[in-house]
Structure 1
Amino acid sequence: MSFIAIVPARWASTRLPGKPLLDIAGKPMVVRTAEQAARSGAARVIVATDTAEIQAAVQAHGFEALLTRADHPTGTDRLAEVAARLQLTADTVVVNVQGDEPLIDPRQIDAVAQLLAHDTQAAIATCASAIGHADTLFDPNAVKVVCDQRGRALYFSRAPIPWARDALADGRRKLANGLPALHHIGLYAYRAGFLALFPTLPVGPLERYESLEQLRALENGHAIAVLRTEYHPAAGVDTQADLARVREAYGNRL
């Protein structure tokens, strides 16, 4: 199947300003991410950025980059602008590869694209892995998802869901035996037709309180298919410690 990978990359970052251009083994982070996306089955890889400096750096390394508006509230809105400018057909599958994920597995990019292609009733496809530690379940920075019997998302939350009432009755933070708790992986596939619709959808209270843009789709009645993977990928880069970890990983490859 054919799909396009778009890598949104914005300059602003509270903890790491200019994050997309931070060096990882001799190349900017966003370029390393684009390289991983290019190892997938994507027919085309495009970096979408709000900054000319990022665009120039990406193009200097041989990748396509589009300069987008700077006022997009979410990465999905940025993808919507790119899809419109490229005049993609409504059924074109677009995978959102976050620009701060230089360790992303190309196979997961392929898998989420294939899931959406096969689930014609879903507007979005994403990934999740089983939670094996209580610390992850109770960490508000680790987004959880619960699914129905068809593998569609029922809800995403920073809270520990599902809540094991009996196992947690003693007040201790622990993982109940057999709890179907899933750790969301922030990799998304969309159809271009839904990307055109997304910016017009009203932001609901669930998205506002949880600060999770995927809830906008659920609050407005659009299905999200969830691929359950065997492992959780390495976290993206949000802090100096993350940057050091990724630099070490690339150093070990050389």
Structure 2
Amino acid sequence: MSVLIAIPARYASTRYPGKPLVPLTGATGKPMTLIERSWRAAMSVSGVDRVVVATDDDRIRAAAEGFGAEVVMTSESCANGTERCAEAHDRLGGGYEIVVNLQGDAPLTPHWFIEDLVNGLRAAPEAGVATPVLRCDGEALNGLLNDRRNGRVGGTTAVFATDHSALYFSKEVIPFTAETYAVSDPTPVFHHVGVYAYRPDALAAYPSWPVGPLEQLEGLEQLRFMENGRKVLCVEVEAKGRQFWELNNPQDVTKIESMMSAMGLE
């Protein structure tokens, strides 16, 4: 089953303009842009036939081609990463059986998250799209809660049914829990990992659907599938000792750099 990874990247981010070109310094002290780190994460995934950066910005194109990435130029009208992946897949001529959207703000995504995601979608023919979820420990949950207390939109959380079909995604911390957890304690909260795997028919249909009220309120693209009656499969993944965080705000740069240094990542 052929697999394409597309990394959507735009310069004009509302919360963090120029985010793909922000340098991040890891354990070696060598700065590397966010988009290059995301591309390297994609290139480490096994069983993938092709990796492309999908962008509408010449600055990102030049940077990506400079470190050896294949680039697909897409239109400025793409409202989110899913629309950009749909256009990129179409411009490449289609034909891939699974398209993975590895968003360009997730440089800490380990290869097994994506491998498990693709395998999960393959095993669920009734699902048109799948996305990983990671159970928060006490430290991760406290990080999410701290962002909200300080007025920042940080990570997204997910709740799902017993068959792992998504019930809802939110930038609020759900479900509510009044308990206090130690740093390493497992919690009932699942961090949504910003990666998607689509079947081509679901991906092609997505841009034709209007933005619904839930997607508009939350600013979460995956809710458009749910608002149009498409099943979104949540695939639980394991951290295996790796820390995970996405670069959503300028304050996340220091946090991610500290995580990379602690894990010995370049």
TM score, norm. by length of structure 1: 0.85
Deviation at 1:97, TM superposition (A): 0.7
Name which of 152, 158, 166 aligns with 2:165.
152
Deviation at 1:238, TM superposition (A): 2.9
Residue 113, structure 1, aligned to residue 118, structure 2 = yes
Q: Is the 8 A contact 1:137 1:175 kept in 2?
A: no
Counterpart-to-counterpart distance in 1, 2:233 and 2:172: 21
Give, as a single letter, the amino acid of the residue that structure 2 aligns with 1:120.
Answer: P
Residue 237 of structure 2 is matched in structure 1 by 229
Q: Is the 8 A contact 1:94 1:113 kept in 2?
A: no
Alpha-carbon spacing, 1:219–1:9, altered in 2? closer, same or farther (3 Å): same
Give, as a single letter, the amino acid of the residue that structure 1 aligns with 2:23.
Answer: D
Counterpart-to-counterpart distance in 1, 2:109 and 2:165: 23
- Over the aligned positions, Cα root-mean-square deviation in angstroms equals 2.6
Counterpart-to-counterpart distance in 2, 1:234 and 1:179: 16
Residue 246 of structure 1 is matched in structure 2 by 256
2:235 alignment partner, SS class: strand
Count, aligned residues: 245
Q: Is the 8 A contact 1:126 1:227 kept in 2?
A: yes
Structure 2: tracts of 5 or more residues without a match: 25-29
Q: Is the 8 A contact 1:105 1:233 kept in 2?
A: no
Counterpart-to-counterpart distance in 1, 2:11 and 2:226: 29
Counterpart-to-counterpart distance in 2, 1:31 and 1:137: 26
CA deviation string 1:136-170 (max 9, x = no partner): 67546332222112111112223443346xxxxxx
Residue 19 of structure 1 is matched in structure 2 by 19
Which aligned pairs between 1:48-127 and structure 2 lie closer than 5 A? 48-89=54-95, 92-127=97-132
Structure 1: tracts of 5 or more residues without a match: 165-172
Q: Is the 8 A contact 1:36 1:104 kept in 2?
A: yes
Deviation at 1:72, TM superposition (A): 1.3
Which aligned pairs between 1:17-56 and structure 2 lie closer than 5 A? 17-24=17-24, 25-41=30-46, 42-56=48-62
Residue 167 of structure 1 is matched in structure 2 by none
CA deviation string 1:87-144 (max 9, x = no partner): 213x610111111222211111111111112211101111112234464675463322
Give, as a single letter, the amino acid of the residue that structure 2 aligns with 1:43.
Answer: D
Alpha-carbon spacing, 1:175–1:127, altered in 2? closer, same or farther (3 Å): farther
Instruction: Give the stretch that moved more between structures: 102-111 or 201-210.
Output: 201-210
Deviation at 1:229, TM superposition (A): 2.0
Residue 183, structure 1, aligned to residue 196, structure 2 = no
Q: Is the 8 A contact 1:131 1:137 kept in 2?
A: no
TM score, norm. by length of structure 2: 0.82
Alpha-carbon spacing, 1:43–1:57, altered in 2? closer, same or farther (3 Å): same
Residue 129, structure 1, aligned to residue 137, structure 2 = no
Counterpart-to-counterpart distance in 2, 1:19 and 1:85: 25
Counterpart-to-counterpart distance in 2, 1:189 and 1:109: 8
Q: How many percent of aligned residue pairs carry the same amino acid?
A: 35
Q: Is the 8 A contact 1:137 1:161 kept in 2?
A: no
CA deviation string 1:171-230 (max 9, x = no partner): xx4369997432211111111221110011122222222221111111111001111123
Counterpart-to-counterpart distance in 2, 1:209 and 1:103: 27
Counterpart-to-counterpart distance in 1, 2:209 and 2:190: 27
Q: Is the 8 A contact 2:137 2:187 kept in 1?
A: no
Flag the structure with larger Rg. Answer: 1
Counterpart-to-counterpart distance in 2, 1:32 and 1:179: 29
Alpha-carbon spacing, 1:83–1:163, altered in 2? closer, same or farther (3 Å): same
Residue 200, structure 1, aligned to residue 208, structure 2 = yes
